[in-house]
A and B are shown apart, each in its own frame.
Chain A
Amino acid sequence: MKIAVLSGKGGTGKTLVSVNLAAVSPESVYIDCDVEEPNGYLFFKPQDIKNKRVTVKLPQADSKLCNGCRTCVNFCKFNALAYIKNNLIVFNEICHSCGGCLLFCPQKAISEKDREIGMIQRGISGNVRVVTGMLNIGEASGVPVIEKLLQDSRKENKDVFIDCPPGSACMVMESIKDADYCILVAEPTIFGVHNLEMVYELVNLFQKPFGVVLNKCLEGENPAEDYCLQNEIKILNKIPFDLELGTMNSNGQIAVRKHPKYRDLFQNLLQAVRKEARHETASDS
């Protein structure tokens, strides 16, 4: 089962939830898709690390074969190509590596070269295989790194926990595409409701089964909870606003490996997720 954890903004608790769920599961894979600033590995401190480069394809023209017909320039929807003074100029940051220019070149003058945009790091932390995507600084899009991360996880028969980037843009869409179930993490504020709405719209658009985890819950009013009740959104669990949990988290410790209290909390959450996800599959078939 693949479970994606998402939220409308950073700092809501996606990593807290996904790291602890992965740690509490008997055997699991944790995939950090927040490739711009991955931090799950700081908690797991994985061993036996292996790195793999992630590259994208960039076109290059052979000036001997190119006759300046500009089929490629006219084809490129992203305007990544210009033809000036008998030379094809390629703008690396704008190219989406679609390969169309290569395909349509009547002279077969275009070939592809690799450009490194990031890497994937794999390691082991007890019962968890930790896979982290890391995008190089200054790159325009992490989507190719996320694609690679999830490609390899397709064959997995263990539970996979996908720690998504914040927000609801392309990189998040890429991260939840294959997920069987989505967990939306929300904060108990009006701002938290706005962030929740963003990801709520997204999972609906993708028609993914989902439930909400309310994080940092205090006594008294909880606008995020009210929002869930009004919209009949399943609340999976509530995580209290808790100094001890916050301290462990900021020290890079995994709460479920430190304290039975939190082990119970996340075990219950995992059970709730399993029950919901199964229920969804059953009602689908």
Chain B
Amino acid sequence: MKIAIPVDDNSMDTSVCISFGRAPYFLLYDTETEENNFLNNSAAASQGGAGIKAAQNIVDSGAEAIITPRCGENAAEVLKVAEIALYKNTNNSIRDNIEALKEGKLNLLDDIHPGFHQHGGS
């Protein structure tokens, strides 16, 4: 299974980014082959609708699950139509979260927030 995680840098030693739509990169990790790829998040610099564009990019990447601390309404709608599962991270370490997902220890993300829409936050 291919999973996507918003991250602060394009390295396996980086941490989970607190923002979904405006994360600088997405880690694409294949749990079977253990391959990793970093997707440059072209949505990060958008004036608006960053979540929608980021979600579209992730759908296009073929990911089937996402581990993220939070997700806005619009992005969640795109991901729901695409039937991509959203999991909430437990801490900031990428590897820990991947392990936790493999062991079925991550909970589904259920608090979808209304989005920041250029009103502060990240």
Contact = CB atoms under 8 A, between A and B. Distances in A.
A75 interface: no
A79 B43 contact: yes
Of the four ranges (under 10, 10 to 19, 20 to 34, 35 or more), the interface on chain A belongs to 10 to 19
B43 A82 contact: no
Contacts of B56: 73, 82-84
B49 A84 contact: no
Interface in A78-116: 78-85, 87, 89, 91, 94
Contacts of A87: 81
Interface string B30-63: 0000000000000100111110110110010000
Given A82-B55, A83-B56, A89 B50 contact: no
Given A82-B55, A82-B56, A84-B59, A77 B81 contact: no
Contacts of B74: 91, 94
Contacts of B78: 82, 84, 89
Interface in B75-109: 77-78, 81-82
B73 to A, nearest CB: 10
Contacts of A73: 56
A78 B81 contact: no
Of the four ranges (under 10, 10 to 19, 20 to 34, 35 or more), the interface on chain B belongs to 10 to 19
Contacts of A76: 49
A82 B54 CA distance: 10
Nearest to B79: A84
A11 B56 CA distance: 44
A261 to B, nearest CB: 45
A85 B78 CA distance: 10
Given A84-B59, A84-B82, A78 B48 contact: yes
Contacts of B48: 78-79, 94
Given A84-B59, A89-B77, A94-B74, A79 B52 contact: yes
A87 B80 CA distance: 13
A94 B82 contact: no
A73 B49 CA distance: 12
Contacts of A84: 56, 59, 78, 81-82
A62 to B, nearest CB: 18
Given A91-B74, A94-B74, A80 B52 contact: yes
Contacts of A80: 49, 52
Nearest to A81: B52
A79 B50 contact: yes
Nearest to B21: A79
B27 to A, nearest CB: 22
Contact of A91 (B47, B50, B52, B82): B52
B29 to A, nearest CB: 22
Interface of B: 43, 46-50, 52-53, 55-56, 59, 74, 77-78, 81-82
9 contacts: A73-B56, A77-B47, A78-B47, A79-B53, A80-B49, A82-B56, A84-B82, A85-B81, A94-B74
Q: Which 5 A-B pairs have the closest CB atoms?
A: A79-B49, A79-B53, A79-B52, A84-B81, A82-B56
